[in-house]
Amino acid sequence: MGNIPENVKGAVDVDPWLEPFAEVLSERRYLADRWSHDIRHSTNDNTPQSLADFARTSYKNYGLHADPVTKKITYREWAPNAVQAFLVGDFNNWSTHSHELQKDQYGVFSTTIPASNSGDYAIPHDSKLKVLFVLPDGSHAYRLPAYITRATQPDKETARQFGPSYEARFWNPSVQYEFKNKRPSFERKTGSLRIYEAHVGISSPEPKVASYKEFTHNVLPRIRDLGYDAIQLMAIMEHAYYASFGYQVTNFFAISSRYGTPEDLKELIDTAHGMGLLVLLDVVHSHASKNVDDGLNKFDGSDHQYFHSLQSGRGEHPLWDSRLFNYGSFEVLRFLLSNLAFYIDVYQFDGFRFDGVTSMLYNHHGVGAGGAFSGDYSEYVSRERSDVDHEALAYLMLANDLVHEILPDSGITIAEDVSGYPTLCLGRHLGGTGFDYRLAMALPDMWIKLLKEKSDDAWNMGNIVHNLTNRRYGEKVVAYAESHDQALVGDKTLAFWLMDAAMYTDMTVTKPLTPIVDRGIALHKLIRLVTHSLGGEAYLNFEGNEFGHPEWLDFPNKNNNDSYHYARRQFNLIEDNLLRYQHLYNFDKALQHTERHYKWLNTSQAYVSLKHEVDKVIAFERNGLLFIFNFHPTESYADYRIGVEAPGRYKIILNTDRGEFGGHDRIDEAASEFFTTDLRWNERSNYIQVYIPTRSALVLSLAS
């Protein structure tokens, strides 16, 4: 190797192809490290502070805070463009002059409101308030405090008179929820991660917005029963437009009031922890809602307080109709890092799935010609061709530093990146961005493309294996066959691609099994198992997809007359013993529990010994287990030879053809033992012979 900068030498050691780009990688890391140094030495007395101290100081000082001893309330707000500021609300009859804030040289407004004459807080719990700014031109602007922790929709009469803007609330209950359970232990480097992606509002069979409490009581036990060990909660950060799926955030420190109160969400997370479930937040720091009255846009009257200015051409996302953060601003860094610390500390989240990382990483946001990534390294890390937003990348590095500093053993970070940016999931100490995982976003696209364009007998086994194993060495991925993206109206879930209208007419066990449903159930299981076992170091499922939910997801909007009919998950279907949905649920449960016991996720990538295009058979070994898949639509094979490295007696630990999984019970498991023959086969030292029925899969383990 040549003269490689020390701060990225670890990354080049992992991937020597990065050597020609080491200087660029070094500069990118240096920017984040310089920012980290500046933050750690940004105290007034120059006393070094940790990144966590910096982030925590922000959310603990900005916004509204009540002193339980003195009953004083302090309020601080950064709004440099504003000339004056007043706190107004129910507590002072919305007087525009009684509670003025003082502005300092840094553009921070502040005030302290003493206790009332009765010795209680002057602002009652859950009462409405806003901050009124006087702008340089003399105009007035009412805003929800940027660090507000509760914002609610107005009632119909208020919305009719004053518009639909959200209302800020002073959340200060006399009895606050106290966490009873410790965070579940999780070893980030070696632990299995099986994620159940969920949206609280749709988590009911009824056409309504479900609550945190309903999720706690009704859905958490299902997730535990299925065998997942982590929940990824979507649409938690407050968003004015329900149909945005939570991706148009208006209030970053407020959790969605549609589902209940902050105390309700704390109870949900605490209960999950008591069940051994980690809880991840789908965090949206890639952009923000353009809403002015109830969001951050033009908060202090300027268009560039938290965001790039509109005049710069960088202030708006070209497709999402939203504002883009200026990650190079010290105060924006303070705000976003504080947001992460807040959710870890106050709500006890165990980590984050970062939305829209591709949009953050590149100035072109992954849109148009700039987003057509071929995998050429120069598209990511060359000075000439790459269009990387260095400031956004530096922020992501600091965000990972912060999560892993606060939760050094168990904190989890996942990047939603479709571009394949190299070093994204390498440790910061190596010169990487520091994420623990990235989503394997190409996998659901592969499955849908196959189902749309190819008949079963034309599926290419080699291509399937290539896509499932095509990931960067040393960088972990979350594999999934489908997520919420495929469940949305306009797209189709795998179950719908496989069975379509038959899901409404032929899923009953009181009718003979039809060829369409037989094929659909069989392939639904095979696709999940091969993705789970070959596709990554972690696994994700979107709620309802585990049992082949029969309908898409469509939030109430003007196009469907504000209907909630499709904004729900019909868990009742798996409780009906006359329906075949229970079979898919049973299989998913067996799959998760088998992995929990035998462990193949987060182990070395599998050794694939067979990709037979005529027989449509795939075989591979991972962590001492043998996986055998027969994708052939009509052919079953008796005494089929499968190469295996370790000699001994093998037993079946998972069989997709079991009757309880909607299969045909063609394999007598009790009588099935497989002894190796000491003869080399398919580049393995031994082989076994198995019966593998059409459209079925087996997982074998050495018998003890």
Q: At residue 692, does pLDDT exceed 60?
A: yes
Find the mean pLDDT for residues 510-527: 97
Q: For residue 183, is it within any domain? A: no
Q: At residue 466, does pLDDT exceed 60?
A: yes
Q: For residue 382, is it within any domain? A: yes
Of 598, 618, 650, the last residue of a domain is: 598
Looking at every residue in the chain, the average pLDDT score rounds to 95
> What is the per-residue pLDDT across 237-280, written as a single tens digit (0 to 9) for each?
999 999 998 999 999 999 999 999 999 999 999 999 999 999 99
Q: For residue 655, is it within any domain? A: yes
Of 598, 625, 640, the last residue of a domain is: 598
Q: How far is residue 348's CA from residue 244's CA, in Å, rounded to a whole number?
A: 25
Find the mean pLDDT for residues 126-153: 97
Q: For residue 368, is it within any domain? A: yes
**Residue 201 confidence (pLDDT):** 97
Of 598, 621, 644, the last residue of a domain is: 598
Q: At residue 212, does pLDDT exceed 80?
A: yes
Distance of CA 525 to the CA centre of its chain: 23
* Domain coverage including residue 63: 54-169
Which of 587, 603, 484 minimizes the C-alpha distance to 533?
Answer: 603
**Residue 2 confidence (pLDDT):** 66
Which of 694, 689, 602, 704 minimizes the C-alpha distance to 653?
Answer: 704
Cβ within 8 Å of residue 270, ≥6 positions away: 177, 179, 180, 181, 348
Q: Are residues 240 and 262 in the same domain?
A: yes
Find the mean pLDDT for residues 421-428: 97
Q: Are residues 570 and 616 in the same domain?
A: no
Find the mean pLDDT for residues 35-58: 91
Q: Are residues 469 and 584 in the same domain?
A: yes
Q: For residue 188, is it within any domain? A: no
Q: Are residues 201 and 137 in the same domain?
A: no
Dihedral (Cα; 583, 584, 588, 594), 10-degree rounding = 40
Q: At residue 165, does pLDDT exceed 60?
A: yes
Q: At residue 162, does pLDDT exceed 80?
A: no
> What is the per-residue pLDDT across 347-379, written as a single tens digit (0 to 9) for each?
999 999 999 999 999 999 999 877 888 889 999
Domain CATH number, residue 524: 3.20.20.80
**Catalytic center residues:** 355, 416
Q: How many domains does the chain have?
A: 4
Contact 21, 381 (CB under 8 A): yes
Q: Are residues 385 and 495 in the same domain?
A: yes
Going by the DSSP 8-state scheme, the letter that residue 154 receives in this structure is P
Q: Are residues 225 and 78 in the same domain?
A: no
Q: For residue 184, is it within any domain? A: no
Q: How far is residue 422's CA from residue 39's CA, in Å, rounded to a whole number?
A: 27
**Residue 226 confidence (pLDDT):** 98
Q: How many CB atoms lie within 10 A of CB 243?
A: 16
Per-residue confidence band for 392, with pLDDT thresholds at 50, 70 and 90: very high
Kindly calculate the radius of gyration of the chain based on its CA atoms and give it in whole angstroms: 27
Per-residue confidence band for 45, with pLDDT thresholds at 50, 70 and 90: confident
Q: Are residues 592 and 627 in the same domain?
A: no
Distance of CA 622 to the CA centre of its chain: 26
Q: Are residues 88 and 215 in the same domain?
A: no
Q: Are residues 73 and 206 in the same domain?
A: no
Q: For residue 180, is it within any domain? A: no
DSSP string, 571-594: GGGGG-TTBTHHHHHHHHHHHHHH
Q: Are residues 637 and 522 in the same domain?
A: no
Find the mean pLDDT for residues 649-671: 96
Contact 355, 286 (CB under 8 A): yes
Percent of the chain clearing pLDDT 70 (strictly above): 100
Assign 676 to helix, strand or coil: coil
Half-sphere exposure for 185 (CA within 13 Å, toward CB): 2
Find the mean pLDDT for residues 6-31: 96
Domain CATH number, residue 120: 2.60.40.10
Q: For residue 178, is it within any domain? A: no
Q: Are residues 533 and 544 in the same domain?
A: yes
Contact 296, 239 (CB under 8 A): no
Domain CATH number, residue 665: 2.60.40.1180
**Residue 490 confidence (pLDDT):** 73
Q: Are residues 85 and 32 in the same domain?
A: no
Q: b/e map of 382-396 (b: 16 or more CB within 10 Å)? A: eeeebebbbbbbbbb
